[in-house]
Amino acid sequence: MELVKQARARVARLDLSAAQAAVADGQAHAAHALWNLLHEYFTFRQGRFASLKECDTAIRQARHEIDWLARLPAQAAQAVLKTYRQAWANFFNPDHPAQRPTFKGRFHTRMAVDVPQARDLRIQRINRRWGEANLPKVGRVRFRWTKDLPGVTRGGPQGRITGARLVKDAFGWSIVFRTETLVPALQQAHPGPAVGIDRGVNVALALSDGTTREHKPWLSRGEREHLRRLEKKSARQRATRPPGRPASHRLARTYAQIGRVRAIAKRRALDWQHQTTTELADTFSLIVVEDLKIPNMVRSAKGTIEAPGRNVAQKAGLNRSISGEAWGRGVTLMEYKSADRGGNVVKVPAAGTSQTCHRCGHRDPAARQGIRFACTNPDCGWVGHADINAAINVENAAGTAVSGRGDLAVRRSVKRQPPRAA
């Protein structure tokens, strides 16, 4: 049986002492400061960008001259340089959506530290729930053992760990293991049917087979009220702060409490997305979605002083709802899960899918009224769920795909299918 390499990530919660957490915080701040220093050195040259060799020499010199920069391990510093150079490569790639690299803010940047070399980790399982690993300049740390790691567990999956990354969120530090697992190569395509999916706010996912995938609010009523009170509290604390002064310890503590509540909502959303996308990838061979320009959809409606926007508060609420659904992340999950199972994810143009009747093809913006779609063509008159109608149009538009992922890891064209009736 032919085996192929499959790159995946394994996330585990770290159990750090206060001293170890302080060291990790210092490394993360040093890494983000190194990025800013590197960006200044790389861009503010006399008419040219600095070369890779010049950047590497500058980093080595700075680590000897700046005490706090030496907190960052040498391999982690080289990883910052590699990531920075890759950011410029993505920016100059016309097919990549990356923006021009810029400076990173202290309070709006995710704290992270790379551990590029797996041999430094020396991972060991100590019992059923806990494992241990070495972190440079942090020491021996414990992490929650939730899934077997390739090359570590006896009798576990074949493969190896290629590196790791420390990431901090509202609940503390986690370690993300980069793994390379050997899995059997796919011998045939997915045997399941095709489906079109319409993503929305009122109905999370509407499928062309007439079913929907919905979820409860990410936060309970009590948690939403708790978040509202914390946000009002932070507003009062900000009002008493003199302009230009840093945040007080009380305000920072309130921000931390708000971050934990929002992190709970994000965890629940991610868990629901993982379960739902796994079920869809197991069931369907072809998943067709709209090619939505999400950054354009969540832009503010404030406008300018000369041309102020309209319905700004309503648009802000809609933007929050769209961001809370994380449509882009859901498609990313479906893409790699479908590819693992021999399926395919295709994106099609989104124009007109919610205003067109799937039965007769008549297009009228007035036909959609909330979640109800009533065709205005007197010869048709179809009435039904608006999101289901849009999902059928999405599936029927598969012949005009703008991109495709999967199908035994090889992109393939999709033939136009005849219109489906509900």
Using CA atoms, how far apart are residues 266 and 217, in angstroms rounded to an integer? 11
What band does 409 get if pLDDT is binned at 50, 70 and 90? very low
Tell me which of 185, 204, 227 is where a domain ends. 185
| pLDDT confidence band for 415 (50 / 70 / 90) | very low
For residues 202 and 175, membership in a common domain is answered with no
| Tens digits of residue pLDDT in 5-59 | 889 999 999 999 999 999 999 999 999 999 999 998 888 766 678 888 888 998 9
pLDDT tens by residue, 330-368: 999 999 999 999 999 999 988 888 889 888 888 888 888
Instruction: Give 183-195 pLDDT, tens digit per residue.
Output: 888 878 888 899 9
Q: CB of 38 within 8 A of CB of 59?
A: yes
- Angle (nearest 5°) at CA 213 between 191 and 333: 60
Measured CA distances, 172 to 20, 111, 149, 158, 314 (Å): 12, 10, 22, 30, 34
Residue 393 lies in a domain: yes
Do 397 and 325 fall into the same domain?
yes
Model pLDDT, residue 419: 43
pLDDT at 401: 56
Range of the domain at 361: 194-213+262-406
Select the highest-mean-pLDDT range: 144-148, 232-236, 246-250, 290-294: 232-236
pLDDT at site 381: 84
| 49-55, Cβ contacts within 8 angstroms, sequence gap of 24 or more | 49/88, 52/81, 52/85, 55/81, 55/84, 55/85
Q: Are strands 112-115 and 159-169 parallel, antiparallel or unpaired?
A: antiparallel
Instruction: Say yes or no: 123 and 207 in one domain.
Output: no
The answer to whether 377 and 362 have CB atoms below 8 angstroms apart is: yes
- In order of 8, 158, 163, 290, the CA distances from 176 in angstroms are 10, 18, 9, 31
For the stretch 305-319, pLDDT in tens is 777 777 788 888 888
Instruction: Give the end-to-end CA distance of the chain in Å, rounded to a whole number.
Output: 43
Q: Residue range 165-193: average pLDDT?
A: 90
Assess whether 128 and 202 both reside in one domain: no
Query: What whole-number percentage of the chain has pLDDT above 70?
Result: 93
Per the domain annotation, does 35 fall within a domain? yes
Whether residue 290 sits in one domain with residue 199: yes
Sheet holding 372-374, edge to edge: 368-369, 372-374, 383-385
Residue pair 377/360 in contact by the 8 Å Cβ criterion: yes
* Residue-level pLDDT at 411: 35
Looking at the structure of the chain, the number of domains it has is 2
Q: CA 204 to CA 300: how far, in whole Å?
A: 22
Examine residue 224 and state whether it is found in any structural domain, yes or no.
no
CA 147, CA 418: separation in Å to the nearest integer?
44
User: How wide is the angle at C-alpha 360 spanned by C-alphas 359 and 363, nearest 5°?
Assistant: 110
pLDDT of residue 103: 92
**What confidence score (pLDDT) does residue 274 get?**
95
Residue 420 pLDDT exceeds 70: no
**Average pLDDT estimate for 114-121:** 90
| Rg of the chain, C-alpha, whole Å | 25
Residues 133 and 208 in one domain: no
Tokens of 299: 């832009």
**pLDDT band at 405; cut points 50, 70, 90:** low
Domain match, 307 and 369 both = yes
284 falls within a domain: yes
Pair 312, 382: CB distance under 8 Å: no
Across the chain, mean pLDDT equals: 87
Q: Both 119 and 200 in a single domain?
A: no
The sign of the dihedral angle between the CA atoms of 314, 107, 257, 241 is negative
* Model confidence at 413: pLDDT above 50: no
Cβ proximity of 160 and 182 under 8 Å: no
Residue 161 · residue 179 · CB < 8 Å: yes
Tell which of 185, 204, 238 closes a domain: 185
Query: Averaged over 96-102, what is the pLDDT?
Result: 88
Other C-beta atoms within 10 Å of 221: how many?
8
- The string over 112-127, giving b where at least 16 C-beta atoms fall within 10 Å of a residue's C-beta and e elsewhere, is bbbbbebeebebebee
Write the pLDDT tens digit of every residue in 262-293.
Answer: 999 999 999 999 999 999 999 999 999 998 88
Tokens 């394994």 identify what position? Answer: 10
Each residue's pLDDT tens digit, 134-158:
999 999 999 999 888 988 877 778 8
The answer to whether residue 232 sits within a structural domain is no
176 shares a domain with 208: no
Cα(245)–Cα(247) distance, integer angstroms: 7
Q: 63 lies in a domain?
A: yes
222 belongs to a structural domain: no
Whether 404 shows a pLDDT value over 80: the answer reads: no
- Residue 354 resides in a domain: yes
My answer on whether 7 and 118 are in the same domain is yes
pLDDT of residue 414: 39
Judgement on whether residues 101 and 203 belong to the same structural domain of the protein: no
- pTM of the entire structure? 0.85
Whether residues 125 and 55 fall in one domain: yes
Q: What is the mean pLDDT of residues 219-226?
A: 96
